[in-house]
Structure 1
Amino acid sequence: MGALMRDHDWSATSLGPQERWPPSLVTLIRVMLNSRQPMFIAWGTDRTLVYNGTYVPMLGARHPAALGRPFFEVWPEVRDEVGALMDRVFAGDPVHMDDLQLTLHRNGYPEEAHFAFSYTPVPGDDASIIGLFCACTETTRQILAERRAASERQRQQALLQQMPGFVAVLRDPGHIFEYVNDAYITVAGQRDYLGRTVREVFPELADQGFYEILDQVYSTAEAFAARTLPIRLAGEDRERYLDFLYQPVRDEAGAVTGIFVGGYEVTEQVRSRAALEESEGRYRTLFEAIDVGFCIIEMKFDAANQAIDYRILEANPAFERQTGANVVGGWVSEFAPNLEQHWFDRYGRVALTGEPIHFENSAEVFGRWFDVRALRVGDPAARRVAVFFSDISERKRMEEALRILNTTLEQQVVERTTERNLLATIVEKTDVMVMAVDLGFNILAINKANVDEFDRVYGIRPKVGENILDLLADRPEHQAQVRAGWSRGLAGEEVTIIEDYGDPERARPSYEINYRTLHDDQGEVTGCYQFVTDVTERLRAQAELVQAQEALRQSQKMEAVGQLTGGLAHDFNNLLAGISGSLELMHTRMQQGRLTDVDRYMTAAQGAAKRAAALTHRLLAFSRRQTLDPKPIDVNRLIAGMQELIQRTVGPAIAVETVGFSGLWPALVDPSQLENALLNLCINARDAMPDGGRITIETANKWLDARAARQHDMPEGQYLSLCVTDTGTGMTPDVIAKAFDPFFTTKPIGEGTGLGLSMIYGFAKQSGGQVRIYSEVANGTTVCIYLPRHYGETEDEEQPARQAALSRAEQGETVLVVDDEPTVRMLVTDILEDLGYTAIEAADSAAGLKVMQSDVRIDLLVTDVGLPGGMNGRQMADAGRERRPGLKVLFITGYAENAAVGNGHLAPGMAVLTKPFAVDVMAARIRAMIEAP
């Protein structure tokens, strides 16, 4: 470039010959030529261009003609952008820019170019600016590369933004948020993410394990994936569930620089599955209770895909009632070898095609008619069919009689045949109520049974030709009910309903009503007929059966209570001796003035009183009557609470040992029923060891695989076992086979109901578990109750509230105390007066009600439940509230809490405190009730 400059004719330029160049220009040219950075000089008023060799690539095809020419003759296209900048420099103001974008035509076409440069003014001898010196760098490639990279990042982020799942990108070991998509914000909420660490954004995850997983992925470079992982975010009272992936992000050298986070929220799916399981449980209960027969069958086909047999996999109790057979697990060919082929064909078609069917047909082998609905269930390859059916034999017999009567009516009228009389007699004499109406609700036919029943429940005797709705015109609610039933039949719906009909002042029985449509010869609907059966007694019998079962359960429980009385009487005598003796010694020492031993006797009396209270509370809780109330419980804790009761029941000749498994799973059962079952097993064990022995109560966690589940006749899964083992006489195989049968007992007459093991079996099955007996004659017996594992936490035991400092009454606050026991009344009154309350005493309900009906101030009523004076405590409180609405009432009682108020329901502003009670508990409860709104 230096040679090119020396050979250039500078005399034709504004610079003139080289020998006349000023020293400053010569110096700058030397500096420029010896530099590797692109540089140029713009000199003089026309800003003549001089440049070095590394500037040449920027000129492109304009070199070498650009040398010595005015700057804007070389670069005319940049005059607007660069001209103003050069004017500033020639005015003495240096200019620096990191990025100047220009459009250049240096290679014959316009192209985008970027430069970083510094314009430095060059002063002359008179200090005026005579030139411009520029050191520059073309950054076009760098800028365009960065732009492409940014565009690629934007494209990738746009793709991530469109993903249906949540996405985040974390960098550095501190897991700093670099990017989150909208789906991530939708899941986690609006927060300040970018530039902050996960720990800063989500402090609530400190104890949930997510920080540790992120640290592990970053340090080990191994991805982590999880499904349905629970997470609890701030401000949320329920857990969510996530499917997610932590994937390490590496640089070009393979080092981990961050973590890619992606996944989906599956909370609704998890909750839906839980709801589905709950729904399935409800439907299972429904199918166990309904009168409609239900079963699931597995079809068998030959090589030609012809259905040849099926097996009953599952059936509800109504199945046996409807068919008269208990055949779960058996093949039809085994118990009904002559069953018609059409049953196999129909069920086989459902299993193969998945198309549900509804039909009515007879089964000669059972001698019955059935109304059947069938649909495929489960995996089609399993070829299983769910079948719902009802025994319609009686209805079919009646329909056949009516069909014969209907089809031969004209012939019967003409010929007056014996057959007509016979059929008419059948319809007229049967107990089944029959009626037919036309489309206008006019009666076409009605038998005597129906007329008599209509008269009994409505006081009306309908006749053929009358309108059934007009007969009930003055009773609109009954008319609407009758219209609704008949309208379904007249609309073509063949349906069976069970419903109450009739005037309650006369009679309102329950009926099973079958509606069937009447058609003419062309198939058009002309009316409807019904068969009606009074099922009041049947429904009452079913209700009485439920009550009888509950009575049997309570009887069995009370038998166990009877076993406790001897031991309890002995223990109470010991406790009462401790209480009375301590009180006498306290009295003696106080008379003697020796107060040092009083505290010791007082502590002994209080301890004995508390143990007596614990015994009565346990006995009351055990003997109360209730239905199953399942709760999550710790079985080990329940056993520990009963150990003293069990030891007293079995007596001192028998040692009781408990072996509780550490880490025992919770169970979802009724604790009262489980206590009942455990106590009865221990009583049975005691009776098997008349000469004494050992009872071992043991718990364990059990995982039953498919094989073990089949052996135990239970579903596969996780269970906990509660086993009671004795060293007694044992059982023979015959006795074991009958042990769970109701009323079966090996005890002498009058010494046992035979209900113990049968009730335990029913409780275990109803709780989703099983009971099994393992026994050898002369070597003892083990009875194990298996209960399904509960996936959740157990309930904490209630801890009685205590207050270090008892709150005192406010001025004028008054409490009415009603109790027929002077000692209790005195105790409560002293507590109230010590705390500053005004106490009013009454010894019976009549006196208490008289006070409440006066004008005296009463802030709280404290009353026993069992009172003399014609009313109990609840009745007295209700009567008092008629005069004082909203009066707050605290019942104190020695009975179990759910028996304290009659029906077990307390009105708002009422509470129960059981005797005996601690002074601070009584005081705290009184203060809390008075202050409550």
Structure 2
Amino acid sequence: MTPLVCAHVMPPSHSLNASTLSFLLGGGEMGELFRSHPWEQTPLGTPDTWPQSLRTSLGFVLNSTLLGAVLWGPELLLLYNDAYREMLGDRHPEALGKPVADVWGETYAPIADDFARVMTTGKGFGSREIQLPMTRWGLRQTTYWNATASPIFGEDGSILGILNVAIETSEQVVANHARDERQKLLNRKNLSLAQAVDARTVERDKAIAEKLIAARDAERVQLALAAGAIVGTWSWDLTQDCFTIDEGFSESFGLENLNRLTDIPLAGIVANVHPNDLDGLTTAIKHAIIRGGAYAHQYRVRRQDGDYHWVEANGRVEHDADGTPLRFPGVILDLDEKRQLLAQRDQAIEELRALNAALEQRIEERTRELMQSEEALRQSQKMEAVGHLTGGLAHDFNNLLAGISGALDLISLRIEQGRIENLGKYVSTAQDAADRAAALTHRLLAFARRQTLLPVATDVNRLVLDMLDMIQRTVGPGIRVENVGAAGLWTVLVDRSQLENTLLNLCINARDAMPGGGRLTVETCNRWIDREMGKELSIPEGQYLSMCVSDNGSGMSPEVVAKAFDPFFTTKPLGAGTGLGLSMIYGFAKQSGGHVRIYSEVGEGTTVCIYLPRHSGTAVDHDDSAEALRLVPTDAGETVMIVDDEPSIRMLFADILQEMGYHVIQAADSLTGLSILQSDVRLDLLISDVGLPGGMNGRQMADAARTTRPDLKVLFVTGFAENAMLNEGHLEPGMAVLTKPFNIGILTERVRDLIAL
């Protein structure tokens, strides 16, 4: 699949007299570029000197909606339309008028001989699936094309160039490959089911096969019926009422006692016809004689042995010119064998109906078995994912808790020993482990798309530039870091810290894919996502910013790419990574209204692009400086109310706020908190958890309190992504949110800022 790339527009340059360019009318952006291009500075010269064959071909290409180009002259200079321009990527506009081999390099090599053959023989070629390696916007990939190349003949009959029209089928080829892989998987499942069928099913299959053979025999019966079986002939002279018959007719009608085969009247012929069939036969004969033409009738006749058998008489009545009946010749068909065959056919049809019913029942049974098998497989995959999730969490958190618990144990021991001079390193160890645990929970919440985001209008180019030094230090001197920032890049509304984590994770993954060194590129770009691409990405069509991280490392196979976003999936050695990096990035992108995609080929490298919706606001300045914890006391007598169901959190918050000089009121649930809020006690700030017992959540409690205290300042704290409870993050003036865990210094700063509002 062709990745999304940035588009460049060639600025207007030297203009020519429009009257000389009438054959260049229309053509979209490329038509405008052709009309303003300084052709007098190129080997082609000005358009008024171009031959008519070039003008005609180029006029066709420019106004075609298909991807097309004219390759002109011995060097095959490239002249192309809007659709071709999009395919060129960052090769445009420098490619215009340049030799096609210089423009495409290795991409042109597989078809160079075919194009040269067109120029020498004048015979065009077409191919439904050309495979070409292609690098566009720094991304190397394998592409597939339906293409034609036709010679352009000059006025003197010489071959002057090639008309090249193509359609890219990369997405279709990749989709077909994925479909074939799914079909192979389904076939393997069906094979497994078939092998599990017991011996009784095998016997049923054998019986079904016999029925099918019988059904095929019924088809042969039908052919035999069509052929018929003639057993005798007759000729009836209607003017004299005289029959002439052969021996077969005589035997079939039981007339062997007659000693002649001619001059037999009708009464003698029908003497042995079954009494029940005689009237019908007489009527049929009369009608045939009156109207003339074809005649056919079935009835029973008694043979010499006294048994009746079915025959069919087929004949034709011949009239004179005045309409007088003259002759009535015909043949006799023995219907006994035919009726037996009909009975066999009817039996075979009935058995086939029964067979179809049995097959339908078996198909339903097999379908149910397959659905049950697939459901069991899905459940197994779910349990496997849960196993990976819980196992990975247990492993990582046990390591972090061991660091925290061990540091606290040593702090307690040193205090008992009175050795407090080196407590700082144990405090730092515990704090570092706690920070890493917080980062792990943020990754999990990002994967689940449940983290609480604090989006701000962000200049992504500025963010990338601020991080380049850190990225270079992280990846090491063996990797060259390049930044390609698009001019006029749009602003996005995004959680800045999460986007920084995303970029750093992508760069670390790229570093790990290049153990021997290489090139890492961070590129930003503005993109328009149309409806079709938006449907594929599960995002609305519109304007998006893309941030791509590319490397020229080991790359990934399609199987690895398909699992890359799964939680705890990693190709790194045990202990070298949690496997949450890409899943966190995917969750963050989706929660931010965007998407993330991977383009990779084994041995060629990988590009990961995150797409974020454009924001119409202006980016805000960001200060990365961090202040140390400072407790600034207050003497204004402000009152802060803390509502949280966790006693340890209430205790910590109360201690630090009381040390700052605030009066603190505590409540353990929303019901108690609301009763205090609805009283006349002084309250300058409410600090509340979002998820609370007592019948309402923190947001509901705060909204209820603001009916009587409209100016109440509120600081929400949460350890979970309760955006739904926070009205999807839409906070009213005087409200703020903090995500647990957080630095105490941040808490005190937010308290001071909110009270000061």
Q: TM-score range by the shorter chain?
A: 0.3 to 0.5
TM-score by length of 1: 0.30
TM-score by length of 2: 0.36
**Does 1 or 2 have the higher relative contact order (CA < 8 Å, sep 6+)?**
2
